[in-house]
Amino acid sequence: MMKKLIPKLSFWQIWNMNVGFFGIQYSFGLQQTAVNPLYSFLGAHAEQLPILNLAGPVTGLLIQPLIGAISDKTWSAKWGRRKPFFLLGALFCSLALFAFPFSSTIWMAAGLLWILDAANNTAMEPYRAFIGDKLPEEQQTFGFQMQSLFVGAGITLANLSLFVFQKYLGGDSESGGIPVWVYYSFFLGSFCSIASVVWSVYKTPEIPPTDEELAKLKADKEHSTLFTPFIEIFTAIMNMPKILWQLALVYLFQWYALFCYWQFVTPMIKQTLYGVSEKDEEKASRILELSKSGSILSKSDLLWAKNIAHLVETAVGQTGLMNGFYNFITMISALILIPFAMKFSSKNVYAVCLFFTGISLLSLPFIKSETLILLPMVLFGIGWASMMGLPYSMVSPSIPSDKRGVYMGVINMMIVIPMLMQTVSFGFIFKNFLGNNPSNAILTAGALFILAAISVTYIKVRMVKPLNR
């Protein structure tokens, strides 16, 4: 088949096509920062957090490769190939975000997380493939790093909204349950999710298939069965380019570590910055529940419990500030990484960024200042910018264009399998080997990032001709 000529796009065309990633990543930012504290507000223990986050890896493992395989075989003259999946995912994501803070039990929150993750995954994978569809190889590093910019912007707003709403519009929860200020962040996310995707769908036309491609799509449709997408995934894995196997090892360390960070950074902050243990939090919660039910309590006990509740909510706000700060750094550094990647190669820049991400996490448990703890987040933000763009630009030239959707789904499998491993294994590790100490969980994540950086050095990347300016 003759290779399709893909025209270069302007800066603003690439900008508009990626705006929808902002809303998707706002939702992801709330999952990073707000969902685990929300579980805690509802009474979950720290060792339960990994299993309560099972939705992310399971839905990613099942949905993204399936959506990728299906979208590869889809074409609508009105809606295009990838855009119907953006819209469907964003709609359900918006509804789930709106409902999330109304959760009255841990399991209601867990159920909504499954819906939210399924919706996010339905939108996410076609967006990765969209970049490959719309941009020539020499512009793909720019396109994927533009996605990193919107990753940073979306998650920054999500996390800073938690900090701002808690500090200025909230007020502490004195009777347990989910504080009112948490609602505001989820409502804002509900709007951003659908509005940003609609913008990109409206502004960005998809490239129509050639007559030859349309004929192939029609023939494939005539011979397709219910099992065809599963066969496509299996075949893609069996014939996967070697570079993807090499990336899988990097992702094993990287994404296991990231899940450790997102789950345990708030418990670490409670401990290291505010001196609140999980036992203190549980005791305070029981006292506040007794007070709510009308029990007579000593004034000192009630004041102590209210102070602990205040410190816990402050820790959630601090987590939002930290995560918002590193994603702000991601936003401003995403495009700055491009000339470095062009000069020194995406592979080398990616390896260095992962190494310094590990250093940043290894330092966190030893910092006792709300201000100084933001400094390691600079390195983390630069690392996150590299993770969200450079691996895709490294492997995209080696992916067959007619299999781009399914292979982006396979790459996501490389992300969610380590996350799934973490959710089922780390609770046991945390309890039996790390002394139920969240600081040790963060140190473990830092060490894993160092291993990820070393693994990058073994990847063999196909060279792409430089962009003509």
Q: How high is the pLDDT of residue 170?
A: 60
List the domain range (segments joined by +) for residue 443.
240-461
Q: How high is the pLDDT of residue 383?
A: 96
Tell me which of 43-47, 176-180, 259-263, 280-284 is least confident. Answer: 176-180
Residues 127, 220: Cα–Cα separation, whole Å: 23
Average pLDDT over residues 62-77: 79
Q: 353 or 175: which carries more pLDDT confidence?
A: 353
Inter-axis angle of helices 346-363 and 375-395, nearest 10: 150
pTM of the model: 0.76
Q: How high is the pLDDT of residue 273?
A: 94
> Per the domain annotation, does 178 fall within a domain?
yes
Query: Is the pLDDT assigned to residue 108 strictly greater than 70?
Result: yes
- Residue 364 pLDDT class (50, 70, 90 cuts): very high
121 shares its domain with 203 = yes
Q: Average pLDDT, whole number, for the chain? A: 84
Q: How high is the pLDDT of residue 120?
A: 84
Q: How high is the pLDDT of residue 249?
A: 96
- Residue 469 pLDDT class (50, 70, 90 cuts): very low
DSSP 8: -
Q: Are 308 and 276 in contact (CB under 8 A)?
A: yes
Supply 72's token pair: 């590869």
Query: Is the pLDDT assigned to residue 72 strictly greater than 70?
Result: yes
160 shares its domain with 306 = no
Buried b (16+ CB within 10 A) or exposed e, 8-39: ebeeeebebbbbbbbbbbbbbbbbbbbbbbbb
125 shares its domain with 260 = no
Query: Is the pLDDT assigned to residue 173 strictly greater than 60?
Result: no
Read off the CATH number of the domain in which 337 is found. Answer: 1.20.1250.20
Q: How high is the pLDDT of residue 268?
A: 95
Average pLDDT over residues 219-248: 85
Query: Is the pLDDT assigned to residue 303 strictly greater than 60?
Result: yes
Q: Of 208, 229, 255, at which residue does a domain stop?
A: 208
344 shares its domain with 438 = yes
Q: Are 145 and 335 in contact (CB under 8 A)?
A: yes
308 shares its domain with 198 = no
